[in-house]
Structure formats: structure tokens, C-alpha cells
Amino acid sequence: MTDLFEPVVKELWNQIGLFLEREQAARKNEANPSTAHEESWVPHTPLSRQQMAQVLGQDMARAWLRRRKAPGNIETLREELAAADPVWTNRMTTAYRCKKALEAMEDDAFVWRATGRGADGEMGPQQDWPDAGQPVLYFFECVGSHAGYFEGKHNEADVFAGLFGGFLSQDVTHWMPMPGLENATDSDTV
């Protein structure tokens, strides 16, 4: 266990509660169409610092609930996380560290870097790329902003892997080092 285990448990507990509240409100809106409204779930530009911190918390809860049912109390969550695969626990800790770093940083330090790839996937002039294995935040218009790792080049394609699964190849238009883990590699965090 790391020194961050207990703060991660508390953050995950809070995020699961918020996630379940949002789901309940969404079901209520579906049952009452007069209060429901259309909202695009994927922004067309990279998220702000505050939005990215919020998304990381939501991703922690979503990832946990995809694999397990909602715990009845924080003690059960603590036991389940302690018994989880260390890779899984490290990913939750990585998301927590990044979320806290985002919350603490100044807006002017939060700067997305262009890859040189347009939204159409076509490559313009080569821009700035992360190192292979580097923890990053990344953006592609069709899927939004995510936390993960730059896997490097595979068969001439640049590959970004999500912290909680999935990957993008040839599509990422913006990225930045993951706040709180700027000098880490995937082997340090996963």
C-alpha cells in the first residue's frame, strides 16, 4: 500500500456517490421527457483544467463500477481496493495524483500541445510528441479528453492508451504531460 491509499479510497468513494446520483437523475429525466434536454457528451475542444479534474474523478468511478457493483459503505470499498490487482490500484492512484495536481495548478500552467494532426486524422507539420511510456492527458474530437500513456509508434501509427482501457491510434490532436507525473513512465505508475 502507498501513502496515498486512504486518500484514493475517500476520493473513489465520493466519486462513486456522485456518479450514482448523476445516473439516478438521468433516469428520472428519461422518465419525464419534459425536463430532459439534449447535451453533447463530447466537447469539440480539449477540456479546461477544472473540467479535466472533474472527468478524472468520473473516470475513476466509471472504471470501478464497470468491474464491480457499488460498495455499500466505505469500509467495503477499502477492503475491495486493497484486495484488487496492484495494477488496478496503481491506476486509481495515478488518476488521483493527476486530479489533485490539476486542482492545485494554475490555469496558465495547463497548456495542451498540438501533435500536428488535424481533426481529420491527416498529419500536418510534425509538432511535439511525448516519449514512449510517458503518462499524458490526450484529446481527440470524437472521444474527448482522457488520461493515459503514450505507447509510442506501432507500425508507423502513434498510439495513446487510456488509463482505464482503450486506445487511440493516429487520431490524437492534442496532449500534455500528466500533471503530478511529469517525470514518470508507465512502469512507475502501472
**DSSP code per residue over 71-83:** PSSHHHHHHHHHH
Residue 154: all three cell numbers together: 506501432
Contact (CB, 8 A) for 147 and 114 = no
Contact in structure between 154 and 105 (CB atoms under 8 Å): no
For residues 158 and 172, is the Cβ–Cβ distance under 8 A?
Answer: yes
How does the average pLDDT of the chain come out, rounded? Answer: 83
- Please state, in angstroms and rounded to a whole number, the distance separating the CA atoms of residues 66 and 166: 14
The model's pLDDT over 25-51, given as tens digits with 9 standing for 90+, comes to 888 877 765 554 444 455 678 889 999
The confidence score (pLDDT) of residue 106 equals 93
At 183 the pLDDT is 61
